[in-house]
Structure 1
Amino acid sequence: MWWFQQGMSFLPAALVIWSGAAFVFSFITAVTLHHVDPLVPYISDTGTTPPERCLFGIMLTISAFLGVGTMYVRYKQVEALNREEVSIILKLNQIGLGLGLISCLGLCIVANFQKTTLIQAHITGAVLTFGMGIIYLLLHTIISYKMQPAIHGIGIFWIRCTLLIWCAGSILSMFVSSLALYNTIPTIEMAMKLHWNPSDKGYKLHMVSTISEWSLAFSFLSYFLTYIRDFQKISLHAEVDLCSETLYDGLPGLERNGERRALLAGSL
């Protein structure tokens, strides 16, 4: 059995691979069609002009749903492992799920509102995605610390902690450089500018901002790779219990001696 066939490990793997592909494919398409510069454009700039805009929007929307599934399964896993005690882990887990869902909503907004169409909505979506997302990573890093060594080793905590620090450093660098850049160049002009020359005003700040954004995106995605081993221990089961032999009330065979008949049971 391959690793991705074990439990639910395919879910975080699919999230990371699909989201990474969304960034890379839209970047290759945009550069090939000369819509953006090949030297580190903003991720959102690679999904601004058709046809890559359609590819970018569709793939990121699917990523948002994969994110919802991954975060929900992680929530249920932590809940199941700590079911016998009422602890701060359960509270952090509930808050984390809420923030994670908001982060996925933000990703949907980013996917469907480009900078050149409605920049306020695009920026709001980016803040929700990475702002709420990094708090989600922080909460689950704390949960990982509290769950070791009884449930998993301390190594996984340090890996998640390192990725969290990388993500936090990237978002801080992007925030500071972007703020300085927007103070140098008007926001609307920034949104419409897809091509940069080294002689342009604010070029160095632009490069710091774009590199930080790519670093943030991949450090954020890399965090979910640490879920793969955990998800290998998870399986989903569903049991179907039919109460009658027919689909309508009042027909023969609906009930026998007042007992419910289980006609079908299976697992998914």
Structure 2
Amino acid sequence: MWGYLSLLPAFLALWAITGVWTVFALAVANRSVNLTEGFPYISLCGSYPPQSCIFSQLLNMGAAMAAWICIIRYHQLRDWGVGRWFNQVILWTGLLCALGTSVVGNFQQKNQLPVHLTGAFFALFVGNLYFWLQLFLFWWMKSLPQPGAPWIRPLRLGLCSLCTILMVAMVILHHWPLRSASAACEWAIAMLLFMLFGLFAVDFSCLDGCTLCLQPGPSLSPPPASPISLQVPL
């Protein structure tokens, strides 16, 4: 029985895939990009209004959902017995991916190129690393639960491998320069990462909900047992 939390990764994948192709369609329709000159990068499609506004909102909401998924995954892995140090490395890698996605949306390519490229690096390259760390974890700790069908794990391995190959190809093609082919690789990488996030729906299928528990931390100093009076000689 799938819990409602399993819908979040699936919704993120659907939201992101539909959203970026909508931005592409708007950019082509209002001639912000010219397909006769080559296939555009995702960021180029989202650099000009009105689709730049949609692009920013799309990626900001997507980044928020991705961060929430990473946090839920962290607590799930913790409950499965994953060590705190490695689990936190995975968590912060995922959060950097989410942060980079938001930066890409808010700092358009034509306005702040260095910041935009930094965000793209976190969103794509660190995002791919996040899923490789997940795979390494399950290879290293074979006792971890394996939700879903037996083909889910090989599918994730295939998607991560293809994503890495396309990243290398994207960088090489960009510097040759074969920009249209490089842009096509970027679009494929984005779709693969969205699919990998969506596959968390399988892992979250056993979750019915989550509860936030607050625990008091250690006090810096013990409270006084009784009121203290201060006498000042006159």
User: What TM-score, normalized by structure 2, do the two folds share?
Assistant: 0.82
Letter in 1 for 2:25: I
Distance 1:92-1:47 versus aligned 2 partners, 3 A rule: same
Is 1:161 the equivalent of 2:134?
A: no
The residue type equivalent to 2:167 in the other structure is I
Q: 1:115 to 1:232 in 2, by over 3 A?
A: same
What does 1:170-185 align with in structure 2 at a 5 Å threshold? 170-181=166-177
Task: Name the structure 2 match of 1:70.
Answer: 69
Does structure 1 residue 19 correspond to structure 2 residue 30? no
Q: Post-superposition shift, 1:226?
A: 1.9
How many residues are aligned here? 210
Counterpart of 2:172 in structure 1: which amino acid?
Answer: V
Question: Are the equivalent residues in 2 in contact too, given 1:11–1:69 (CA < 8 A)?
Answer: no
Matched, 1:217 2:190: yes
**Do structure 1's residue 114 and structure 2's residue 108 form an aligned pair?**
yes
Closer/same/farther in 2, CA of residues 142 and 240 from structure 1, 3 Å limit: closer
* 2:102 partner letter: C
Tell me the residue number matched to 2:122. 128
Q: 1:103 and 1:75 mapped to 2: Cα distance? A: 15
CA pair 9-151 structure 1, distance change in 2 beyond 3 A: same
SS of the residue aligned with 1:115? coil
Q: For structure 2, list consecutive stretches of 5 or more residues without a partner in the other structure.
A: 215-234
Structure 1 position 218, deviation (Å): 0.6
Q: Distance in 2 between matches of 1:40 and 1:66?
A: 29
How far apart, CA to CA, are the structure 2 residues paired with 1:133 and 1:77? 19
Matches within 5 A, 1:1-268: 6-38=3-35, 40-82=39-81, 87=83, 90-148=84-142, 151-152=145-146, 155-181=151-177, 205-238=178-211
Deviates more, 1:37-46 or 1:59-68: 37-46
> C-alpha distance in 2, partners of 1:170/1:47?
22
> C-alpha separation between the residues in 2 aligned to 1:119 and 1:150?
42
SS at match of 1:219: helix
The SS at the match of 2:196 is helix
- The alpha-carbon deviation at position 178 of structure 1 amounts to 1.6
Displacement of 1:224 in angstroms is: 1.6
Conservation of the 8 A alpha-carbon contact between 2:80 and 2:144: no
Q: 1:150 to 1:120 in 2, by over 3 A?
A: closer
CA distance in 1, matches of 2:211, 2:80: 20
- Cα distance, 1:115 vs structure 2: 1.1
Shift of 1:154: 5.1
**What's the CA shift for 1:156?**
2.5
TM normalised by structure 1 equals 0.73
CA contact (8 A) 2:167 2:186 kept: yes
- Report which stretch shifted further, 167-176 or 153-162: 153-162
Q: Which runs of 4+ in 1 moved over 3 A?
A: 146-150, 237-241
In the alignment, residue 166 of structure 2 is paired with which amino acid? S
Gaps of 5+ in 1: 182-204, 242-268
Kindly, what percent of the aligned residue pairs are identical?
28
Alpha carbons of 1:129 and 1:227: their partners in 2 closer, same or farther (altered >3 Å)?
same
Q: How far is the alpha carbon of 1:74 from its aligned partner?
A: 1.0
Alignment deviations for residues 110-168 of structure 1 (CA, whole Å, 9 cap, x no partner)? 00111111111111110111121111111001123245465116532211111110110
